[in-house]
Amino acid sequence: METKSGKLFVFSAPSGSGKTTIVHHLLDREELNLDFSISATSRPKRGKEIDGKDYHFIHLDQFKKQIKNNDFVEWEEVYQNNFYGTLKSEIERIWAEGKHVIFDIDVVGGMRIKEQFPDKTLAIFVQPPSIEEMEKRLRNRKTDTEEKIQERVAKAERELKFAKDFDVVLINDKLEAAKKEAEQLVSNFIDIA
């Protein structure tokens, strides 16, 4: 996949860490020239999610077929029968527009992108101030069952062990400060030749 290419910004974190809020903030900063890599998933839509905007919602059988066709840069079965992945066509689309790619992605997927594009990727792990605070944020969303919240908390405890593998750990204790720090990290990495 060699087209003219920009940089890749991987934002990974446990659910409830604030990474999606930070990514949306960065996308609003026009001077950064970023576009969002829309992940594909086999899970059903939640709330007001829109196909092709929040995710590419792909039926489980079709997702597995696309894995076999090597259509993904990375993919992962995050929860049983809930696959997530990055379509090669997404990166190509954004680079063709002359923009940099930003990802809001699972830690394993984020590391796979970094492995494939080591010099072009800045991998940022957004860490909640604590597991307790993260659980509180998940509850405040009111989108998940108690069982799903407990599953996400257990997964977060495992994911936090990956933080050391990222280029930067950004602790989201105060959201406005975390947004500013993320902006500076992205801007500095764009400026590197």
Which structural domains are found in the chain, ordered by start?
Answer: 8-191 (3.40.50.300)
State the Cα–Cα distance between residues 74 and 61, nearest whole angstrom. 17
Average per-residue pLDDT for the chain: 90
pLDDT band at 169 (very low <50, low <70, confident <90, very high): very high
Question: Which pLDDT does position 136 carry in this prediction?
Answer: 83
- Cβ contacts of 136 within 8 Å, gap of 6 or more: 16
With a cut of 80, say whether residue 15 has pLDDT above it: no
DSSP assignment of 61-86, as one string? HHHHHHHHTT-EEEEEEEETTEEEEE
| 3-class DSSP assignment, residue 123 | strand
Q: Could you tell me which residues come within 8 angstroms of residue 103 by beta carbon, excluding any fewer than 6 positions away?
A: 8, 9, 10, 11, 12, 37, 39, 86, 109, 110, 113
Q: How far apart are CA 190 and CA 52, in angstroms?
A: 27
Q: How far apart are CA 81 and CA 14, in angstroms?
A: 19
Cα-Cα-Cα-Cα dihedral sign, residues 186, 178, 114, 81: negative
pLDDT band at 1; cut points 50, 70, 90: very low
pLDDT computed for residue 30 by the predictor = 95
Residue among 47, 57, 44 nearest 143 (CA): 47
Strands 56-57 vs 40-41: parallel, antiparallel or unpaired:
parallel
Tens of pLDDT along 171-193?
998 999 999 999 999 999 999 86
pLDDT tens track for 117-166:
999 999 999 998 888 887 887 788 878 788 888 888 888 888 888 899 99
Calpha distance 153→14 (Å, rounded) = 8
Q: Considering Cα of 132, then 133, then 134, then 138, what sign does the dihedral take? A: positive
Compute the distance between CA of residue 30 and CA of residue 33 in angstroms, rounded to an integer. 6
Which pLDDT does position 143 carry in this prediction?
Answer: 80
Rounded distance between C-alpha atoms, residue 193 and residue 180, angstroms: 22
